[in-house]
Chain A
Amino acid sequence: MSQAATTPLRRDGVVHKRPASQGVAGLILPYSVIGLFIALAALFMAAPTVMLAVQSVTDDHGFTLKYLEALGGDNIVVAFRNSIVLSIASAAIGVVAGGLIAYFVISPAMPITLRSAVTSFSAVAANFAGVPLAFAFVSTLGTLGMLTQGLRSLGVDIYGLGFSLFSMTGLTIVYAYFQIPLMVIIITPALLALRTEWRESSENLGATSGQYWRMIGLPVLLPSLISAFILLFGSAFSAYATAYALTSGNIALLTTEIANVLSGDVSSSPQTGAALAVGMIVVMVGVLVISAAFSRRASRWHK
Chain B
Amino acid sequence: MATVEARGVSKSYQGRTVLASLDLDMGEAELICLLGPSGCGKTTLLRIIAGFITPDTGTVHVGGRDVTALPPAARKMGMVFQAYSLFPNMTALDNVRFGPRVAGQAKTEQVKRAGELLDLVGLAQHRDKYPHQMSGGQQQRVALARALAVRPDVLLLDEPLSALDAKVRLQLREEIRRIQRETKVTTVLVTHDQEEALSISDRVAVMNGGKLLQVATPSVIYRQPADAFVARFIGLAGILPGVAEGAAVRMSNGTILPADAAVAHQSGRSVEMFLRPEHVRLQRMNGHVPPGALAADVQEATFLGSLTRVRLRLPELPDHAGLWADMPSEHAADFAPGQRVTAHWHETSPHVIAVEAAQAS
> How far apart are B209's CB and chain A's nearest CB, in angstroms?
26
Known: A197-B84, A211-B102. A13 touches B136 (CB 8 A): yes
Interchain CB contact under 8 A, B89 and A207? no
The answer to whether the Cβ of B99 comes within 8 Å of any Cβ in the partner chain is yes
Inter-chain CA distance A96–B215, complex, in Å, is 52
The answer to whether the Cβ of A301 comes within 8 Å of any Cβ in the partner chain is yes
The answer to whether the Cβ of B150 comes within 8 Å of any Cβ in the partner chain is yes
Contacts of B146 in A (CB 8 A): 201, 205
The 8 Å CB contact of A200, one of B81, B103, B135, is B81
Interchain CB contact under 8 A, A205 and B102? yes
Interchain CB contact under 8 A, B102 and A201? no
Inter-chain CA distance A207–B85, complex, in Å, is 15
> Which residues in window 16-62 of A have CB below 8 A to B?
none
Contacts of B274 in A (CB 8 A): none
Known: A197-B81, A206-B102. A301 touches B73 (CB 8 A): no
**Could you give, for residues 186-227 of chain A, a 1 whenever the CB lies within 8 Å of some chain B CB and a 0 otherwise?**
000000000101101111111110010001100110000000
> How far apart are B78's CB and chain A's nearest CB, in angstroms?
7
Identity of the chain B residue whose Cβ is nearest the Cβ of A216 in the assembled complex: B87
The answer to whether the Cβ of A302 comes within 8 Å of any Cβ in the partner chain is yes
Inter-chain CA distance A201–B87, complex, in Å, is 9
Identity of the chain A residue whose Cβ is nearest the Cβ of B52 in the assembled complex: A200
Known: A219-B89, A302-B130. A204 touches B73 (CB 8 A): yes
The 8 Å CB contact of A207, one of B73, B77, B81, is B73
Interchain CB contact under 8 A, B89 and A216? yes
Inter-chain CA distance A275–B18, complex, in Å, is 69
Contacts of B82 in A (CB 8 A): 197
Interchain CB contact under 8 A, A202 and B136? no
Interchain CB contact under 8 A, B90 and A204? no
> Which residues in window 61-90 of B have CB below 8 A to A?
71-73, 77-79, 81-90
Interchain CB contact under 8 A, A206 and B89? no
- Looking at chain A, what size class is its interface with the partner chain? 20 to 34
Interchain CB contact under 8 A, B77 and A204? yes
The 8 Å CB contact of A203, one of B72, B87, B130, B143, is B72
Interchain CB contact under 8 A, B87 and A206? no
> How far apart are A173's CB and chain B's nearest CB, in angstroms?
35
Interchain CB contact under 8 A, B150 and A205? yes
Interchain CB contact under 8 A, A13 and B135? yes
Interchain CB contact under 8 A, A206 and B81? no
Inter-chain CA distance A25–B146, complex, in Å, is 50
Inter-chain CA distance A208–B84, complex, in Å, is 20
The answer to whether the Cβ of B284 comes within 8 Å of any Cβ in the partner chain is no
> Which residues in window 103-140 of A have CB below 8 A to B?
none
The 8 Å CB contact of B103, one of A195, A198, A206, A216, is A206
> Which residues in window 159-199 of A have CB below 8 A to B?
195, 197-198
> How far apart are A72's CB and chain B's nearest CB, in angstroms?
43
Inter-chain CA distance A219–B84, complex, in Å, is 17
Contacts of B132 in A (CB 8 A): 302
> How far apart are B314's CB and chain A's nearest CB, in angstroms?
43
Known: A13-B135, A204-B50. A198 touches B102 (CB 8 A): no
Identity of the chain B residue whose Cβ is nearest the Cβ of A298 in the assembled complex: B89
Inter-chain CA distance A186–B71, complex, in Å, is 33
Interchain CB contact under 8 A, B89 and A301? yes
> How far apart are A218's CB and chain B's nearest CB, in angstroms?
10
Known: A207-B73, A302-B130. A202 touches B103 (CB 8 A): no
Inter-chain CA distance A202–B90, complex, in Å, is 13
Contacts of B84 in A (CB 8 A): 195, 197
Contacts of B143 in A (CB 8 A): 201
> How far apart are B67's CB and chain A's nearest CB, in angstroms?
13
The answer to whether the Cβ of B335 comes within 8 Å of any Cβ in the partner chain is no
Contacts of B78 in A (CB 8 A): 204-205
Interchain CB contact under 8 A, B79 and A220? no
Interface centre among A195, A201, A204 (most CB of B within 10 A): A204
Contacts of B85 in A (CB 8 A): 195, 197-198, 200-201
Contacts of A201 in B (CB 8 A): 79, 81, 85-87, 143, 146
The answer to whether the Cβ of B324 comes within 8 Å of any Cβ in the partner chain is no
Interchain CB contact under 8 A, A301 and B130? yes
> How far apart are B152's CB and chain A's nearest CB, in angstroms?
9
Interface centre among A200, A203, A205, A215 (most CB of B within 10 A): A205
Given contacts A201-B87, A208-B102, list 5 more A-B pairs with CB under 8 A: A201-B81, A205-B78, A207-B73, A207-B98, A216-B89
Write the residues of chain A forming the contact surface with B, with a CB cutoff of 8 angstroms.
Answer: 13, 195, 197-198, 200-208, 211, 215-216, 219-220, 301-302
Sorted nearest first, the 10 A-B pairs with minimum C-beta distance are A197-B85, A205-B99, A207-B102, A301-B89, A219-B89, A204-B79, A206-B73, A197-B81, A201-B85, A203-B72
* 24 A-B residue pairs with CB within 8 Å: A13-B136, A197-B82, A200-B52, A200-B72, A201-B79, A201-B81, A201-B85, A202-B98, A203-B71, A203-B72, A203-B73, A204-B50, A205-B73, A205-B78, A205-B102, A205-B147, A205-B149, A206-B73, A207-B73, A211-B102, A215-B98, A216-B90, A301-B90, A302-B88
